[in-house]
Structure 1
Amino acid sequence: MLLAADVGNTNVVFALFDLDSGSREIRARWRIATDPRRTGDEYAVWLLQLLEIEGVPREQITQVIFASVVPRANHNLTVLCEKYFNLTPIVAGQGKAAWPFSIDVDQPSSLGADRALNILAAHEKYGGDLIVVDFGTATKLEAIDFNGTYKGGVIAPGINLSLDALVGKTAKLPRIAIRAPDSSSVIGRNTEDQMLIGIFWAHVAMMEGLIERMRAEIGRPAKVVATGGLAILFDEKTEIFDHVDADLTIDGLAILAEHASK
């Protein structure tokens, strides 16, 4: 079995793939808050119990791959793999797991691992010219041509980050929950509704506007693939997505592991 871990700024997502099935179907997935101070032993206490609940002995894990945008977490994940699974992990973007696509930007080395995995998975799963929108800590949009080449993208504050800034820098505005507004109206009748409109619909408008501008710049029809925890929420209120794929990043890890094994 393949154990894959995607280390983001907010959460670490672990996923278990059954390699013997001949598919990339995810057998189980688990999420834990990102903390660079969490040791390999602490990861093991948590993860080995979850594997036991799933009925998977640790000896059945034959390959581990992880991608990280938090460099301080890498050592502890490596300790987890070597000490508790007796495996040397594949690190996305390094060595035999170097990115198997062209990166046509000014600073190729600056491309984050999460973004690269989305690019890899989107091209393999959907093909053609693509725009990938990832709703994470930051909202990221990627332009990928029909050859799978990364042409560039956009990084904007994520919706929760925007809300944190709004509440944190004002004295009287309350903390509100991020949700889809009940109405399509953009004229709020009270403070909470006005904040939700300003956070939610402004994010939708930004995303739709950027996608249309990117499509015009690409000059060819481009499919839009949305991923990230809030993709389904936004999909309820816009028609701009062609596909919503919550597993895009973690599928990218499984695809990259296949490339690395060849």
Structure 2
Amino acid sequence: MLLTINANNTNVKFAICEGDRMVTDWRLKTDPARTADQYVVWLNQLMQMSGMSLGQIDGAIIATVVPQSLFHLTMLCEKHLKTTPLVVGDPAVKLGIKVLMDMSPQDVGADRLANAVGGHVRYMKPLVVVDFGTATTFDVVDGDGNYVGGAISPGINLSLEALHSMTAKLPRIAVERPAKAIGKDTLTAMQSGIFFGYVGLIEGIVARIRAEFGAPLEVIATGGLAPLFHGGTPVLQHLDQEITTRGLIEIYRRNSGG
């Protein structure tokens, strides 16, 4: 079995995969100080509850945008799982795609590269992957699967936290899809501003990307808040919560000879 680890700024997602499919997955709040020993106790308990054992893991791949976490996650794999993980962004790890950026591929977010690979494997056409994470990212993939570039904007929860922490009277709220754009109290006014504000951001950025790209693009929504916005605008054509894991599985396959 393959263990894929996607460590972003909010959560670390561990997925157990067999062949080209994900068997199960778990999330843990990101803490750069968490040690390999702490990770393995948590992972071992969850695997046992699912009828699996650590000994069934014979390969691992890590994508992280939190450099401080990489050492402990690598130690988890090497010390406790007895396997040397592939690390997305390591020059020795082949992505199987070109990164058409004015910067080193190692400086592009590992999750964004995995999204590009995972999106191309499934859809096989030019794409925009909108990832609703700590940041809301827009990743453009051409018809050959190459990573073209994209856009990064503040994540929805970051915006909500800023509204609460930087104002005297606005409360901390959870984002929801409001019934109307005109809020009748503070709560519904904030929900309207956040939800429809991000709908406008999504539609506007995707429209500009499509105009610059000059060819049709499928738009994929992924990430924690993707289900909330999928269906809230016709721009988001597909909901795909496994795109990053699928990309990590494919990158591992490309580097392990099958």
Runs of 4+ with >4 A deviation? none
Partner of 1:189: 184
Match of 2:71 among 72, 75, 82: 75
Alpha-carbon contact 2:177-2:192 (below 8 Å) kept: no
**1:47-126 to 2 correspondences below 5 Å:** 47-109=43-105, 110-126=107-123
Alpha-carbon contact 1:90-1:257 (below 8 Å) kept: yes
Q: Distance in 1 between matches of 2:150 and 2:104?
A: 12
Partner of 2:164: 167
Are residue 145 (structure 1) and residue 145 (structure 2) matched? no
Unmatched tracts of structure 2, length 5 or more: none
How many residue pairs align between the two structures? 256
Q: Distance in 2 between matches of 1:57 and 1:161?
A: 37
Partner of 1:13: 13
Q: Distance in 2 between matches of 1:92 and 1:253?
A: 8
TM-score (norm 2): 0.96
Alpha-carbon contact 2:95-2:254 (below 8 Å) kept: no
Partner of 1:210: 205
Unmatched tracts of structure 1, length 5 or more: none
Partner of 1:178: 175
Q: Distance in 1 between matches of 2:98 and 2:234?
A: 30
Partner of 1:45: 41
TM-score (norm 1): 0.95
**Once the two structures are superposed, what CA deviation does each residue of 1:94-123 show, in whole Å capped at 9, x if it has no partner?**
254232211111113321001000011111
Which residue identity is paired with 2:7? V
Alpha-carbon contact 1:96-1:260 (below 8 Å) kept: no
Post-superposition offset of 1:198: 0.8
Are residue 240 (structure 1) and residue 239 (structure 2) matched? no
RMSD across aligned positions (CA): 1.1
Do the aligned partners of residues 49 and 254 (structure 1) sit closer, same or farther apart at CA in structure 2, a change above 3 Å counting?
A: same
Please identify, of 98-107 and 4-13, the stretch whose mean Cα deviation from structure 2 is larger. Answer: 98-107
**Once the two structures are superposed, what CA deviation does each residue of 1:73-94 show, in whole Å capped at 9, x if it has no partner?**
1111111111211111111122
Q: Distance in 2 between matches of 1:63 and 1:137?
A: 28
Partner of 2:219: 224
Please identify, of 158-167 and 94-103, the stretch whose mean Cα deviation from structure 2 is larger. Answer: 94-103
Give aligned-pair identity as a percent.
45
**Once the two structures are superposed, what CA deviation does each residue of 1:14-33 show, in whole Å capped at 9, x if it has no partner?**
000123xxxx2211111000
